[in-house]
Amino acid sequence: MNELGRLEDLPADYRAALTEKNLVPLWPSLRAVLPPGKPAIRTQATCWSYQGLRPLLMRAGELTPIEKAERRVLVLANPGHGLEKMQASSTIYLGMQLLQPGEWAPSHRHTPNAVRMIVEGEGAYTTVEGEKCPMSRGDLILTPTGMWHEHGHDGNDPVVWLDVLDLPIVYYCEASYVTEGKAQPVTAEGVDGDYQRGGVVPAPMFTRSGKTFPMLRYPWADVRRTLESIAARQPAIGAVQVAYVNPENGHDCQRILGYSALMLRPGECLQMPARSTAMVFHQIEGGAEVSAAGADFTLDTADTCCIPGYTPITLTNRSADQPAFLFIADDAPLQKKLGVYEVRN
Ligand code: 1HN
């Protein structure tokens, strides 16, 4: 590859004349924006221990009343992007949110899409467009773009969940904003929803739902049972993994970020090929080892880590007799739409 001319090679008066007219020469920066073979990646492999952050989150509960926070969250920030950017990867935002008994996080809606993966506690709920979704450990609750949502808590213990949003990319698009609202009337209970089983969907008078986001709550008990069943029925399968999809059309459940759950059988070691997407792993149950390009993380239950894209990853169940369950987030839906998604075997 040719060595390209540097900025310093150009006369000062020429550079000043360019700057004055808001012009920039491409060639000194061409290799930076188009590096050979592999992108320049700021995302660093980073791990956030739940036991490490939990006391700090509980302290936030004492220091800052919910009225002064709206959402009481500690952001899982990737140092590679700069902590102040509040991003886990180029597209993914992660935060651990605390709601104390009796607290209410008021209704709003915004352009970024969010999901919640519940980490601990019982009795809290998120109401999404009038559907009151109870929160239990391992449940996934969607609050897609433009949908009203608020959180409440009728239980007795702190409730914590992991928020995953596509905020960094929506913000980068200069399309991120919020609208505040009033408390929503509850019009539906999101306990046993319209979608009880794959392959069976509501069809009143032969008409299918036209909703973009027909299913808002994916109960962990159902997901776990499906994973256990796959593991039992298909001992030779490459990975015991399920995707969170739109039950009406089988597409990813949201448009920008993709979500899945993975079961590592007792003692299992799984090699994942390098993919162009950064990935987030959150330990729902059990413990795992995540190894990727020099990073080696030991995940205990409720720990979360981020691995940059274009990196092969090895996942190992740390237990020889118990399964381990991981929640995975990536930006494959976005990359596929953009036509830049790759798997490198
Ligand atoms: C948000 O709306 C929530 O509704 C949590 O719980 C975290 C982070 C950035 C922007 C909006 C919530 C958020 C957020």
CATH code for the domain of 129: 2.60.120.10
Single pTM value for the model? 0.97
φ, ψ (nearest 5 deg) of residue 157:
-125, 160
Tell me which H or E stretch contains 232. Answer: helix 220-233
Distance separating alpha carbons of residues 324 and 298, to the nearest angstrom: 12
Residue 12 lies in a domain: no
Is residue 15 in some structural domain? no
Closest C-alpha to 283, from 253, 258, 318, 310:
318
User: What is the total count of domains within the chain?
Assistant: 1
Q: Is residue 102 part of a domain?
A: yes
Domain membership of residue 113 (yes or no) is: yes
Give the domain extent around 53.
46-191+211-344
Could you identify the atom of ligand 1 that is nearest to the CA of residue 151? Answer: 6
Whether 71 lines ligand 1, by a CB cut-off of 6 Å, is yes
Which residue, chain included where needed, has tokens 């089988």?
250
Torsion of CA 74, 76, 82, 84, to 10 degrees: -20
Largest CA distance in the chain: 75
- 313 assigned to some structural domain: yes
Q: Which of 117, 162, 163, 176 to mutate to test the pocket of ligand 1 (most atoms within 8 A of CB)?
A: 163
Query: Can you give the pLDDT of all 345 residues of the chain as single tens digits?
Result: 889 999 999 999 999 999 999 999 999 999 999 999 999 999 999 999 999 999 999 999 999 999 999 999 999 999 999 999 999 999 999 999 999 999 999 999 999 999 999 999 999 999 999 999 999 999 999 999 999 999 999 999 999 999 999 999 999 999 999 999 999 999 998 888 899 999 999 999 999 999 999 999 999 999 999 999 999 999 999 999 999 999 999 999 999 999 999 999 999 999 999 999 999 999 999 999 999 988 999 999 999 999 999 999 999 999 999 999 999 999 999 999 999 999 998
Does residue 242 form part of some domain? yes
CA–centroid distance, residue 115 to ligand 1 (Å): 9
Q: Is residue 92 part of a domain?
A: yes
Separation of alpha carbons 304 and 148, rounded Å: 27
**Ligand 1 within 6 A of 95 CB?**
yes
Does some domain include residue 327? yes
- Residue from 57, 71, 103, 151 whose mutation best tests the ligand 1 pocket (most atoms within 8 A of CB): 71
User: Which residue's CA is minimally distant from atom 3 of ligand 1?
Assistant: 71
The amino acid present at 298, given as its one-letter code, is T
